[in-house]
Chains A and B, each alone.
Chain A
């Protein structure tokens, strides 16, 4: 099974489309770790994922301030941003683990701040800035379930 792949995007719209294609494949319990610098296009990607999950809300706003945004869809989308957190026990107090592997899809930004909190089973996507509009998405599947999603996504 595929465990790593690289995808190229030439615009924010293309990044969104990649997210949408992934969103269509995701099932309850899936965890996506989304990495990349400020301005890399994580929001655009998640907006695509939301569309792929049939999230009806027109606005998939940044969860930086709120930490967790919940969007009802085909399955619920839990959009989580760990940017403002520092200590792992804050995750515990937020009930963070309850969002993972449950009834919805969890897309977690800045998961690399807390490597020890990452579940063994997850699809990791790192967005790299390669040009003004262009981005490279490096996807790594951790676990068989994530590998299956990745294979269908790039297939």
Chain B
């Protein structure tokens, strides 16, 4: 079954064609990272107009890459939330128009479910159910039990900033541009994670995250000492990254132990962070847990993951009608 996926929930406009939920045939993302960098930490074109302009070109690119035409498509999947309603609507309306014109089945997909479905797109074996999923990105930090495709239980989430957001904002404070996550990661690799003492939040047994206090601690530190340079900057990045990673890993350990799960998948843009990957590799080795992380290009927002998630829903006979609407706040479970 060839599924066409469309994604326009936030900054990225994307289209992809995925066979049977696992094999990517075509995948196109109109990314704005270069534009973001120019503006130094802000998104100039969050506006739906941007998605309108990009949608048909990404769709055509994905189709061309796949060697398929719309006549070969068996079903459609589109992100229906959470996200910006104005942005989401562009994808939703396009998907409905194609579904109606072609007489194709259509499903709406939760963006987070898309992230949790990316792990099957790399051709290797994916995790079995149930498993624990740590979803970490610029907009999300969640611990979820995946019981089946599309069946989730939320264990914990951030109470303030998302992990990726903390990286981006602290990077901005340090004058490291945007998006700063990868730069912080790079600098951290040559720094001493014990050089600067930062508070460790959420020490209890709860599974929620909190990263706002760490951002404040960094702000206080920078206001007192100024922005460091050279090795001191690397040390500060390493210390900050260690504080974030420490909390993510600690909660992941608690969740794995409490739930007795033996498989872990990590999804979302922050899954590309080397400090986090190394710490999770160590944790899972110690606990005898299998670790699954999608390839970096599947970790950031894309439409292949939406097509993959949609495939399982279509397979179960789920169908959205032409009343399908975008929803700003859409819980995963």
Q: Which residues in A have some Cβ–Cβ distance to B below 8 Å?
A: 12, 37-41, 43-44, 47, 58-62, 64-70, 83-87, 89-90, 93-95, 129, 132
In the assembled complex, B84 has its CB within 8 A of some CB on chain A = yes
A interface, over-half SS: loop
In the assembled complex, B235 has its CB within 8 A of some CB on chain A = no
Interchain CA distance A116-B217 in the complex, whole Å: 33
Indicate if the CB atoms of B220 and A90 lie closer than 8 Å. Answer: no
Interchain CA distance A65-B220 in the complex, whole Å: 23
Residues in B whose Cβ lies below 8 Å from that of A69: 329
Indicate if the CB atoms of A85 and B42 lie closer than 8 Å. Answer: yes
Residues in A whose Cβ lies below 8 Å from that of B165: 62, 64-65
Indicate if the CB atoms of A93 and B43 lie closer than 8 Å. Answer: no
Residues in A whose Cβ lies below 8 Å from that of B223: 129
Given contacts A44-B212, A61-B160, contact A67 B220 (CB under 8 A): no
Indicate if the CB atoms of B84 and A67 lie closer than 8 Å. Answer: yes
Indicate if the CB atoms of A62 and B42 lie closer than 8 Å. Answer: no
In the assembled complex, B127 has its CB within 8 A of some CB on chain A = no
Query: A39 touches which one: B44, B158, B173, B208 (CB < 8 A)?
Result: B173
Residues in A whose Cβ lies below 8 Å from that of B93: none
Indicate if the CB atoms of A38 and B157 lie closer than 8 Å. Answer: no
Q: Which 4 A-B pairs have the closest CB atoms?
A: A39-B219, A65-B139, A39-B216, A93-B47
Segment 6-62 of B: residues with Cβ below 8 Å from A? 10, 39, 41-49
Highest count of chain B CB atoms <10 Å: which of A12, A44, A86, A90: A90
In the assembled complex, B126 has its CB within 8 A of some CB on chain A = no
In the assembled complex, B169 has its CB within 8 A of some CB on chain A = yes
Residues in A whose Cβ lies below 8 Å from that of B44: 86-87
Residues in B whose Cβ lies below 8 Å from that of A44: 212
Residues in A whose Cβ lies below 8 Å from that of B313: none
In the assembled complex, B161 has its CB within 8 A of some CB on chain A = yes
Interchain CA distance A84-B47 in the complex, whole Å: 11
Highest count of chain A CB atoms <10 Å: which of B46, B138, B162, B216: B216
Query: B86 touches which one: A40, A65, A95 (CB < 8 A)?
Result: A95
Interchain CA distance A125-B86 in the complex, whole Å: 29
Residues in B whose Cβ lies below 8 Å from that of A87: 44, 47
Interchain CA distance A144-B196 in the complex, whole Å: 48
Query: A41 touches which one: B43, B45, B216 (CB < 8 A)?
Result: B216
Indicate if the CB atoms of B49 and A93 lie closer than 8 Å. Answer: yes
In the assembled complex, B91 has its CB within 8 A of some CB on chain A = no
Per the CB 8 Å criterion, the residue count for chain B at the interface is 41
In the assembled complex, B250 has its CB within 8 A of some CB on chain A = no
Residues in A whose Cβ lies below 8 Å from that of B176: none
Indicate if the CB atoms of A62 and B46 lie closer than 8 Å. Answer: no
Nearest CB to that of A132 among chain B residues? B220
Residues in B whose Cβ lies below 8 Å from that of A60: 159-160
Residues in A whose Cβ lies below 8 Å from that of B48: 93
Indicate if the CB atoms of A59 and B158 lie closer than 8 Å. Answer: yes
Nearest CB to that of A38 among chain B residues? B169
Interchain CA distance A132-B213 in the complex, whole Å: 11
Given contacts A44-B212, A62-B160, contact A90 B47 (CB under 8 A): yes
Residues in A whose Cβ lies below 8 Å from that of B329: 69-70
Q: A41-B216, A64-B161, A86-B44 are in contact. List 11 more A-B contacts (CB 8 A).
A: A58-B159, A60-B159, A61-B160, A62-B158, A64-B165, A66-B139, A68-B84, A85-B43, A87-B47, A93-B47, A132-B220
Nearest CB to that of B168 among chain A residues? A64
Indicate if the CB atoms of A38 and B172 lie closer than 8 Å. Answer: yes
Interchain CA distance A23-B163 in the complex, whole Å: 27
Q: A73 → chain B, closest Cβ, in Å? A: 14
In the assembled complex, B82 has its CB within 8 A of some CB on chain A = yes
In the assembled complex, B319 has its CB within 8 A of some CB on chain A = no
What are the interface flags for B212-236 relative to A under an 8 Å C-beta threshold, 1 for contact and 0 otherwise? 1101111110010000000000000
In the assembled complex, B328 has its CB within 8 A of some CB on chain A = yes
Residues in A whose Cβ lies below 8 Å from that of B83: 66
Interchain CA distance A47-B139 in the complex, whole Å: 18
Query: A86 touches which one: B42, B49, B159 (CB < 8 A)?
Result: B42
Query: A62 touches which one: B41, B45, B161, B217 (CB < 8 A)?
Result: B161
Q: B165 → chain A, closest Cβ, in Å? A: 6
In the assembled complex, B267 has its CB within 8 A of some CB on chain A = no
Indicate if the CB atoms of A62 and B212 lie closer than 8 Å. Answer: yes
